[in-house]
Amino acid sequence: MATVPTIEPDVVRAGDFLTWLKSLPDYPANAGWSLTYTLINATAKITITASASGADHLVSVPAATSTNYEAGLYSWMSRVTKATEIYTIDQGSIEILPNLAALTTFDGRSHARIMAQAIEAAIQGRASSTQLEYEINGRRVRNMAPSDLISWLSFYRAELAKEAQVESIRRTGVNPRNIGVRFHRV
């Protein structure tokens, strides 16, 4: 069995079992304190109530519950309550990734990839009407001068390079920009 994390996750996937254990010495669960998390964004609100695990608070969300979570970036806060006392303990943000197993289609391209492909299509004269309708700084791709398109394409290609580097670091744990240096006494 895997070790239960003791901090809130930064990223979770809808449809997965979610769990973490919070130790709050000033607000122990076995003294009647209850811990609740509220996750909210522009289109959804999620409330998660922890259960007591001795003095600790065990957050446990079944996969059947999280499968209904809407993907997106959420702000969260945690609060403890006991009778009429309520205290905010912490806050942060969490990204909920989509439940790919429940989807029939999915466009996993980033904004930078979508924009780069649309601009490339416009430059090559093969853009669809949908691609021509992208807006950058209040100007539609259809009405942009070729020099502006090339400038924006360079910008989005740089963003794609950053995304590729982040993905490489995530997969390998190695940052190619870090250079190891050793010094020896002479």
Residues 86 and 139 in one domain: no
Residues 95 and 116 in one domain: no
Residues 84 and 122 in one domain: no
pLDDT of residue 149: 86
Residues 32 and 91 in one domain: yes
CA dist 87 and 29 (Å) reads 14
Domain final residue, candidates 99, 125, 145: 99
Q: Which residues pair with 66 in a beta bridge?
A: none
With cut-offs at 50, 70 and 90, classify the pLDDT of residue 27: very high
Residues 116 and 92 in one domain: no
pLDDT of residue 129: 63
Q: Taking all residues of the chain, what is their mean pLDDT, rounded to a whole number? A: 90
Q: What is the pLDDT of residues 93-148, one digit of tens each?
A: 999 999 999 889 988 888 899 989 988 888 888 766 656 667 777 777 677 778 88
Domain count, the chain: 2
- Considering only 17-21, 67-71, 136-140, which range has the smallest mean pLDDT? 136-140
pLDDT greater at residue 108 or residue 2: 108
pLDDT of residue 128: 67
Residues 82 and 118 in one domain: no
Domain final residue, candidates 74, 99, 124: 99
Residues 39 and 85 in one domain: yes
Q: CATH no. for residue 87?
A: 2.60.40.10
- Report yes or no on 105 lying in a domain: no
**Which alpha helices (DSSP H) does the chain contain, by range?**
63-66, 111-123, 129-132, 146-172
Identify residue 10 by its one-letter amino acid code: D
Residues 145 and 72 in one domain: no
- Report yes or no on 142 lying in a domain: yes
- Report yes or no on 182 lying in a domain: no
Residues 159 and 124 in one domain: yes
- Report yes or no on 52 lying in a domain: yes
**pTM listed for this prediction:** 0.71
pLDDT greater at residue 24 or residue 150: 24
DSSP state of 16: S
CA proximity to 131, closest of 147, 153, 151: 153
Q: Give yes or no for residue 177 having a pLDDT over 80.
A: no
Distances (CA, A) of 154 to 61, 116, 136, 137, 159: 43, 9, 14, 16, 9
- Beta strand residue intervals within the chain, DSSP E: 11-13, 18-22, 34-40, 45-49, 51-53, 56-61, 72-82, 85-97, 135-136, 139-140
What is the extent of the structural domain holding 118?
111-172
Residues 52 and 123 in one domain: no
Distances (CA, A) of 52 to 2, 24, 32, 35, 79: 19, 11, 9, 9, 14
pLDDT of residue 146: 83
- Report yes or no on 4 lying in a domain: no
What percent of the chain shows pLDDT beyond 90? Answer: 61
CA dist 143 and 118 (Å) reads 13
Q: Give yes or no for residue 176 having a pLDDT over 80.
A: no
Q: Give yes or no for residue 33 having a pLDDT over 90.
A: yes
Query: Helix 111-123 vs helix 146-172: angle between axes, to the nearest 10 degrees?
Result: 140
φ, ψ (nearest 5 deg) of residue 175: -95, 115
pLDDT of residue 12: 97
